[in-house]
Amino acid sequence: MKFKKITIIIGCVMSFSQLMAQSPVLTPGNVESVTVNDHDVTFQAGSIFGKVIVYSPSVIRVRLDKKPLGRDFSYAVIAQPQKTKTSITQNEESITVLTDSLKAVIHKKPFAIAYYTPGGQLINQDEPGLTTSWVGEEVTSYKTMMPDERFIGLGEKTGNLDRKGNAYTNWNSDTYGYQVDQDPIYSTIPFYIGIHHSLNYGIFMDNTYQSDFNFGASNNRFSSFGAHGGEMNYYFIYNKNIAGIIQSYTGLTGRMKMPPLWSLGYQQNRYSYYPDTEVLRIAQTLREKKIPSDGITLDIHYMDRYQLFTWDKKRFPDPPQLTAKLNKLGFKLTVIVDPGIKVEKGAPAYESGAKDSVFIQYPDKTFYTGQVWPGWCNFTDFTSEKGRAWWRKQVKFFADNGVSGIWNDMNEISTWGQKMPSNVLFDFDGAKTTHLQAHNVYALEMIRSSYEGAREHFKERPFILTRSGYAGLQRYSAIWTGDNRAEDNHMLLGVRLMNSLGLSGVSFTAMDIGGFTGGASTALFTRWMQIGAFIPYYRNHTALNTKASEPWAYGEDALEISRNFINFRYKLMPYMYSNFYESTQTGMPVMRSLAIGNTFDVKVYDPAFQNQYLFGGAFMVAPFESTKEYGKIYLPQGTWYNLYSDEQLQGKAETIQPLNMSHLPVFVKESSIIPMQSLVQTTAEAPTDTLTLHVYNGKVANTFVLYEDDGKSYNYENNEFNKRAISFDPAARKLTIGETTGNFASKFHEVKLVLHGFTNIGKIKLNSKIMNGHSAYYTMIDPVNNIDPQGADGGRRDAAPVYELSFGLSNQKQVLDYELK
C-alpha cells in the first residue's frame, strides 16, 4: 500500500510538470519542412503552418496558422500576385527570398522573418523570442520596435498623426458624439506605415475579426498587430517613399472610380429637410443668395415611418417631380439608407427579403432581429451573393425616383443596445461564419451592393457615401467621419481623421461641416466652412433639434466669407477633378498629410503642426481653432507663397501669422501649376471656354496632369477623356502644355496664363512666336466687402501682383519660353 501511494504521488507530479511545460502561448518551432516554388515558400514550423508569397517586387505576403492553411479569400484584396523576378535560396539556417526591390529572410531555428532592402539594410523584423504567437484563438505578430520609429495611418483613428506609444482596436462602432480620443469609432483599415532611419514600410493585416495594433503602448520592446480569430495574414510593403507605399497598398485593395463631378460641389444637408417644399426652399435660397452648390441630402424623415425603399407620401407626395425640379435648379438628390428592413407583414421589402431568405440568421435558422429607427428589423446578409443581388434589385427604387446619391448609414452594424450576438451567422461567400468574423466587413459589402446596384440602374455615375467600412472601401464609396460635435477640437480632429484615411488608401473623405451635434458659434462655423472648401467632399450637416446651419443662418459676414470660399472651390474644379483622377491612377489622396512628402522632417509630426495638410500638390492648409488670434505654422522645405498676397516665405522654418475670421491660412508651394475656370453656380452649368492657368515661380521642376471628361457617364472608361501634361521647368525657363490624349473634346479653347513670382519677366515666346503680356493684380479669394478700397493698402490686401498673357489652347504640344531681365 505504501509503495502504491508513492507511485501515485510521483505520477501526479510528473503529469503536473508536463502540463506546466505546455505554455498557454503557442509559438512556432523550428522550420522542419520546406517546399520552394518559383514565387513562394510553404513550410511547417513545429505545429505552425506557413506560406510566404512574393506578390510583386515590393510586396511580400505572409500566411501563418496553427492548422493547415485554409481557403484563400479576401473581401479587401482584389489583386493577384504579379509575375516577379524572384530568387529563393536556402541553407540550414535560413531561406532567402529576393526580388529587385525587397529581401525577406526566413530564419529556421526557430521560425522568424526579417525584411531588408536589396542592399542589406534592415527594414523590419520579428521580435526575437516573440515572433508570431497564439493565445487561444487570438493571433499576434510582434515586430522589433526600431529606435525613434514612427507609425502613421491605420485609417479612421483618433489621436496624433504619429501613433507611437498608443494602441488601437478595430471593431466598427456607432459612436454618436464621440470623444476626440475615443477608439474604436466607425471603420476598420488595418494598414499602417512605419518610419525609421530614412526608411518606410507598410503592413496590411487582412483579417476581419476584431483586431488590435500596438505601437509601443505599455511596453518598450515591440510593435504588434493581431486578431481575435482566423489566421495571421499580412502583406509587407516596401518603397523608398510613402507615395509608393500607398500606390502598392491601393494596388492590392483597389482604387476609387472617377466620381460624378457634381459630388465635388458644395452639399447642403440636414437631419432632416422635409417636406418637399422645404427642400425646394433650401435649393432656391442657395440660388438666390448665389451660393454655388450641387447637392441636397435627405435623412431618414423622407421615408414612411423610417421603412427603407419607401417615401412618406404626405411629406413627399411626388418624388420624381421633386428630383426633376431640383435637377432643373442644378441640384442632385442624395438619400440615406440603413441596412435594417422593418419586420412588417405586407411591407414589400420585408416580404421580398423574407421570401428570398436574404437576412442574417441565428443557428436555428430564424432571422436575427434587432431594433433600429423603424423598430424591429431584419438585416440583409451582404456577405452572400444572394443578399447582394437582392439589394442591387432594390436600388432600382431610387433610380425610378430620380435619386443620384446613396448615403449608407448605421452599417457598423448599429442596433439599439449595440450588442449584436456573436452567434449570428453570415454566409461569408460560401464559408459560413459568425458575427465575430463578419462584423468588420459588413459595411464594405453593403456599399459594394449599393454601388453595384446604382451602377446597374442609374443612368449616370452615382455618388455613394458610407459611415463605416473595411480596407478596400475606396473602390465603392466616399466616407465621412460620422456624428461629430460642433467644437473646435472636433473640427481639427476631423482634419487628422481625413489625413489618416488618405494615408490608408481612401481619398474621397468628408466630415460634417459645422458639427453634427450641438450648435456652432458664428466664428466656428465660418472657420469650418473655410476648411471645408479644401477637403474632398464638402458637406454641411447638422442634427435634429439643433439650430439652422445653412450659411445664411450665421449673419451676413459669415455668409459672405463662406460664399467667397465656396466660389474659390468652384473655380478650382479643373484642379480638383484632375487630382481625383490622380487618385484613380495611383491612390494618392486629394487631401495629403505633410508626412507623405516630408516623411523624415520631424516637425511635421509635432502636435503643433500635425493638422497642416496639402490639398492636391499645390495648396498647404493650416487649420486653427476659431478662437485663436495668432497661429504658429511650419513651412516645409521650399518656397511658399501666401495665397492672398503672394508674399514669399522660405521653408524649413516656423512663422507666426495673425488669424482673423475672413482668412484661412493657405500657402501655395513653389512651382505649382493650378488650372482654374470661371465661376459657376453649379457644375451643371458650363464655365467659359477660358482656362486660367496659374504658375508659381520656383526652383524645382513640376508637372501637372490636367484631366477632363463629361463628369457624369462611364464613357471615360472607353477613352472618352481629355488628358494633357503641363510642365514647368525653371532651369530651362520653359512651360510646356503637352499634346492631348483621349477622344473627349476639351471644354477649354483659350488660356489665360497667370504668372506668380516672376518679378523680372522679359521676352516670352509661344512656339517661337513673341507674345505680349502685362502686369496686373489677381485676387484668388474675394475679400469681404468691408475692406476700404481707398485705404492704405489700396484695396489690394487680398490681391497679388502677377504677369498675365492669353493665347489659344491647342490639342498639340505648346511650348512657352521666357527670358528674365
What positions carry a catalytic annotation? 409, 412, 483
Across the strands, what pairs with 593? 613
Joined grid coordinates for residue 371: 431594433
Give the DSSP letter string of 327-378: HHTT-EEEEEE-SEEE--TT-HHHHHHHHHT-B-B-TTSPBP-EEETTEEEE
Q: DSSP code of 717?
A: G
560 SS3 class: helix
Distance CA 114, CA 98 (A): 12
Nearest to 633 by CA among 605, 663, 653: 653
Distance CA 766, CA 249 (A): 42
Dihedral Cα 493, 494, 497, 501, nearest 10 deg: -160
Pairing of strands 750-756, 690-696: parallel
Tell me the backbone φ, ψ of residue 201, rounded to 5 degrees: -145, 160
Please report where in the chains the cell 441640384 appears, as a residue: 331
Across the strands, what pairs with 224? 142, 214
Q: Return all residues near 709 (Cβ < 8 A) that are at least 6 apart.
A: 258, 715, 716, 720, 721, 722, 742, 744
**Strands (E) located in 7-93:** 25-26, 31-36, 40-45, 48-56, 59-65, 87-90
Are 195 and 600 contacting, i.e. CB atoms less than 8 angstroms apart? yes
Distance CA 268, CA 542 (A): 10
Work out the end-to-end distance of the chain between its first and last CA atoms, rounded to an integer number of angstroms.
Answer: 114
Across the strands, what pairs with 802? 756, 776
565 SS3 class: helix
Q: For 719-722, which contacts have Cβ atoms below 8 Å and span 24 or more sequence positions?
A: 719/743, 720/744, 722/746
Buried b vs exposed e over 743-759: b needs ≥16 C-beta within 10 Å? ebebbbeebbbbbbbbe
Which residue type does 766 have? Answer: L
Question: Which strands make up the sheet holding 673-676, listed edge to edge?
Answer: 673-676, 690-696, 750-756, 800-808, 774-778
Q: How many CA atoms lie within 13 A of 542 on its CB side?
A: 17
Q: What is the CA radius of gyration of the chain?
A: 29
Please report where in the chains the cell 506605415 appears, as a residue: 193
Distance CA 237, CA 811 (A): 40
Q: Tell me how crowded residue 548 is: count the other CB atoms within 10 A of its CB.
A: 11
